[in-house]
Amino acid sequence: MMQHSGNAALDIQPLGDSAIIIRFGGQISEQVNGRVHAAAACMEERPFPGFIECIPAFTSLTIFYDVYTVSNIQKGVSPFELVKKEVTERLSDVTAEQKEDRRIIEIPVCYGGEYGPDLEEVAKLNDLTPEDVIRIHTEGEYLVYMLGFAPGFPFLGGMSERIAAPRKSSPRSSIPAGSVGIAGLQTGVYPISTPGGWQLIGSTPLSLFQPEENPPSLLRAGDTVKFVRITAEEYSRLMEGAS
């Protein structure tokens, strides 16, 4: 799952009094994000006493810990220094690329019209037709760099710059759950109804966030997402099946 070799000293800093943040680079890339997820997997497999959870982001990993438990590892040493030592021992040799057993999740999308009111605008911005935008969007494979902004919201990398589009100058006060949008070079899916400024090109009948489930999010960081075009009839049928 992971490759090991000599590695430069990790950039580990405190984040409050019960968490640390580890930075793996200053530039967002699949390689750096792969190291983040490899480190997260390593910490989940080899937790230290007091470890609570770790949260991967684009270029960093945040680790939360129980201060009381950590303090009992070695008296007279600060919890931060103890955690830094434990983490360094586990991660100093991790240089993994993205894990090879990455999940591939297909997300059905009905594009344009009431489902994607900004599809034509995205097409015009890029001197394309709406069909071109749909074709390019469905041809891509997207890496889930991280979840954030709203519960279960996936920040997806790997979108073609041919369909890039800026955020709307005036964000919508409410975007329906399931809306598929574009912002800059990123694409994503709104898991819940929330305000937002992304350009909406379609909608999925899948529920990306189900708080009663464990885990509650359909997607997780490190997954690969493929969008599959469906008709309005298929969208309605899938919605009825999910209700």
CATH number of residue 68's parent domain: 3.30.1360.40
Query: Is residue 5 over pLDDT 80?
Result: no
Among the three residues 57, 91, 125, which one is the final residue of a domain in this structure? 91
Does a structural domain hold residue 1? Answer: no
Closest listed residue to residue 122, CA positions, set 202, 213, 224, 10:
202
Write down the pLDDT at residue 73.
87
Give yes or no: residues 32 and 70 share one domain: yes
CB atoms within 10 A of CB 125: 16
Diameter of the chain by CA atoms?
66
Q: Which domain holds residue 55?
A: 11-91
Please state the pTM of the whole predicted model: 0.73
Report the distance separating Cα 142 and Cα 157, nearest Å. 5
Q: Return d(Cα 114, Cα 20) in angstroms, integer.
A: 44
Q: Is residue 108 part of a domain?
A: yes
pLDDT at 4 over 50: no
pLDDT band of residue 243 (cuts 50, 70, 90) is: low
Token pair of 76 as six digits: 């007279």
Instruction: Say if residue 157 is in the same domain as residue 238.
Output: yes
**For 56-110, how does the pLDDT look when each residue is reduced to its tens digit (9 = 90+)?**
888 889 999 999 999 988 888 999 999 999 999 888 777 655 455 678 999 999 9
- For residue 117, the domain's CATH number is 2.40.100.10
DSSP element (H, E) containing 91: helix 79-91
Same domain assignment for residues 82 and 110: no
Residue at 2 is within a domain: no
Which are the contacts of 81, defined by CB distance < 8 A and separation ≥ 6? none
Q: Is residue 3 part of a domain?
A: no
Question: Which of 35, 65, 91 lies at the terminal end of a domain, its last residue?
Answer: 91
* Distance of alpha carbon 197 from the chain centroid: 18
- DSSP states of 9-32 as a string? PPEEEE-TTSEEEEE--SS--HHH
User: Do 22 and 119 fall within a single domain?
Assistant: no
Give the residue from 65, 91, 117 where a domain finishes. Answer: 91
Greater confidence, 165 or 95?
165
Residues 115 and 235 in one domain: yes
Same-domain status, 235 and 212: yes
Say if residue 7's pLDDT is above 50.
no
CB within 8 A of 232, min separation 6: which ones?
110, 113, 115
User: Does 30 reside within a domain?
Assistant: yes
For residue 31, the model assigns a pLDDT of 81
Asked, for residue 98, whether it belongs to a domain, the answer is no
Residue 97, classified by CB atoms within 10 Å of its CB into exposed (0-12), middle (13-18) or buried (19+), is middle
> Do residue 21 and residue 48 come from a single domain?
yes
Average pLDDT on 34-56 reads 90
**In-domain check, residue 167:** yes
